[in-house]
Every structure is written in structure tokens, then in C-alpha cells.
Amino acid sequence: MKEISDYSRMVEEAIAAKRYGAMRPSSLYEPVEYGLQKGGKRLRPVMLLMAGDAFGADTACLTDAAVGIEMFHNFTLLHDDVMDRSDMRRGRPTVHRRWDENTAILSGDTMLTLASSLMRQVPDRCLRGVLETFDAMAVEVYEGQRLDMDFEERNDVSVEQYLEMIEKKTSALLGASARIGAYIAGASEADCALMYEYGVKLGIAFQIQDDYLDLYGDPATFGKPIGGDVLNGKKTFLTVSALGLGDRVADEVRSGMALPADAEKIEKMRSVYDRAGIPEICREAIARYSGEAVAALNATAISEENRLPLEQLVDRLIHRRK
């Protein structure tokens, strides 16, 4: 039985074997390799490989698709970092800081086409289906990013709207990863749909966990400063949940968010959220969505033994500290 770490190693090796940094012109491809370098969780390609394995796929048919999914993810990071003016990612300068904005745009475009080309390496019998899932997922990711940008201008985003946004921006990619793995393995349409559900629900739990850890994580293990979302005035699951708890709490949230961006603001927002019971609301939501992910998994035809790594992935993400 393969462990999660076996799958991540397969992903690292498959990416390294592509040697994108050796391609010419290097001004186009070095940023591609840099963007793809180690440091991320490789969550999406690992999920694709696991899902394919669980349904008995030939690993050789999965590898390029797994690299393609990771390539797509990293393309979105290059462009999102330009759009968000983010200077650092995984402890290193972002591509548009290390090179320039035009490089991040153009090498990002290249990564999107390289991702499509990698997805295309599947056998004929699943070519159209894989590409349909991939393109539909990509459009959802753009729509999610657009909604996220539009929400920045608004103070009346509901919990439902926020969940729709993260489902598109974050979870659709996890859903597509799980679905594509199963699809390449020749799983039934019902099982493919359940695997998509597994990935999407896990993705929502993952994003809520992300929002929660940003304010409530342990500074010793979180890996970046606590309270970044509060300082950046970002709307998170914490914000929209508190805004939905009636006028008194909403007023406290709004006046807290209007404070200058310093340590006091972080303390103030934490105390508003604490009194409103937001940590419990987050933990309940994470448990609910991860439970739904496991339920979808249990409804598939995958044997109990083969389900194990996919269940471990849920545990790992829910109990992570960074």
C-alpha cells in the first residue's frame, strides 16, 4: 500500500524529469521551472494519482495528467500573485518580483498551455472526457477568482456567496483532480461524480481551515505571521460568518475592520470573533464538509483497503497546522 509521501515523491520526480528549465528561450521557461519548484503540498496531483490508483489505473497513464494539474495550479499562482501584488510565496520572491510582471503574465500563459498539453497525453478512450473536466474546472477557477475580486468591493457578502466563491476558486480544482484520476482508471460515471464530490467537499473544508489557521493557528508551526488576512482586510469565512450573525456582531466586525493594520487590530478582531463563537462555527463547518467528503468516498465502489490513503488525506488536511 502506497503512502501519501510515496505519491508526493512520484510527483516531484515526474516534474523534475520534464526539465522545463532547459527549454529555450530560457527567459520564458526558467520562470516556469521556478514556479513549479518544490515547496507546495502537491496536494492536487497527489489526489489525482491516489484516485486513479484506487480504481486500478495504469500509473503510466496518470503521471502526465498529475503534472498537468500541478502545472495548472502553479499557472494560477503566477497570475494571482500579479493580481494580488503578492511579493512572497513559499518563502521565496514571487515570479513577478524575482523577474517582472510581464514575465509572470507570459510564462503563466505558457504554463496554462503546457498544462493542457500534459492533460492531452491520456489514451484516446478518455481524451475528450479528461479535457472537458479540465476546461470546465479552469473556467470555474477564473469565475471564482473574479468573484473574489468583486467581493473585495462589497460589505454584504453572505456565507452562501462566499462558499460559492471558494467552491469555484479552490475546490473545483480538487474535485477535478479526483475525478480525472478516477476517469482515467475507467471508473463508472457515478463513481467519477462521487470522486468529484469528495474533492470539492474536501476543498471547502481545506479553505475554511486555511481561513481559520490564519488567525487561530499556532505561531510556532503556522509558517507565516498570524493575522495576515485581518491586516490585509481580506474577507474570509470568519468575516462572512460573523457578518451573518445579526447587526450587533456585524457592527463590531465592521468597526474592527476599519482599524489601522497593526497587532492591535488582530487582537481586536480575534476578541470579536471569540465572543461571537466563530472558532466553533469554523470547526463545525470543517467537520461537516470533511465528513461529506468521506461519505462520498464511502459511497464509491473503491475497496475499503484502497480507500485508506484517500481517507488519510482528509485527516492530514484537517489536522494540519500550516
Binding site for a copy of itself (CB under 8 A): 24-25, 27-28, 79, 82-83, 102, 105-106, 108-110, 112-114, 116-117, 120, 124, 127-128, 131-132, 135, 138-139, 142-143, 145-147, 149-150
Q: What is the C-alpha to C-alpha distance for residues 198 and 282, in angstroms, rounded to an integer? A: 19
**Coil, strand or helix at 93:** strand
CB of residue 54 vs a copy of itself: minimum separation in angstroms? 27
- Rg, Å, the chain Cα set: 20
Cβ proximity to a copy of itself, 75 vs 289, nearer residue: 75
Shortest Å distance, C-beta 139 to a copy of itself: 6
Q: Which is nearer to a copy of itself, 12 or 164 (CB)?
A: 164
How many helices and strands, by DSSP H and E, does the chain display?
Answer: 17, 2
Closest distance between a copy of itself and the C-beta of residue 6, in Å? 31
Give yes or no for a cis peptide into 45 (omega within 30° of 0).
no
Can you point out the beta strands (E) in 90-143?
A: 92-93
Q: How far apart are CA 72 and CA 69, in angstroms?
A: 5
Residue 30 beta carbon to a copy of itself: minimum distance, rounded to whole angstroms: 11
For residues 87 and 135, which CB has a smaller minimum distance to a copy of itself in the complex? 135
CB of 148 or CB of 252, closer to a copy of itself = 148
Residue among 77, 57, 80 nearest 130 (CA): 57
Least Å from the CB of residue 27 to a copy of itself: 6
At residue 108, what are phi and psi to the nearest 5 degrees? -65, -45
Q: Closest CB to a copy of itself among 23 and 299?
A: 23
Shortest distance (Å) from residue 145 CB to a copy of itself: 6
Is the CB of 42 or the CB of 79 nearer to a copy of itself?
79
- Which grid cell sits at 261? 493594520
- At 111, phi and psi to the nearest 5? -65, -35
- Other C-beta atoms closer than 10 Å to the C-beta of 245 total 16
Write down the least CB distance from residue 149 to a copy of itself, Å. Answer: 7
Tell me the three-class secondary structure of 15-76, residue by residue.
HHHHCHHHCCCHHHHHHHHHHHCCCCCCHHHHHHHHHHHHCCCCHHHHHHHHHHHHHHHHHH
Considering beta carbons, is residue 83 or 287 the nearer one to a copy of itself?
Answer: 83
Q: Least distance (Å) from a copy of itself to the CB of residue 287?
A: 31
Output 105 or 299, the one with its CB closest to a copy of itself: 105
Q: Yes or no: say if 240 and 158 are a contact pair by the CB < 8 Å rule.
A: yes
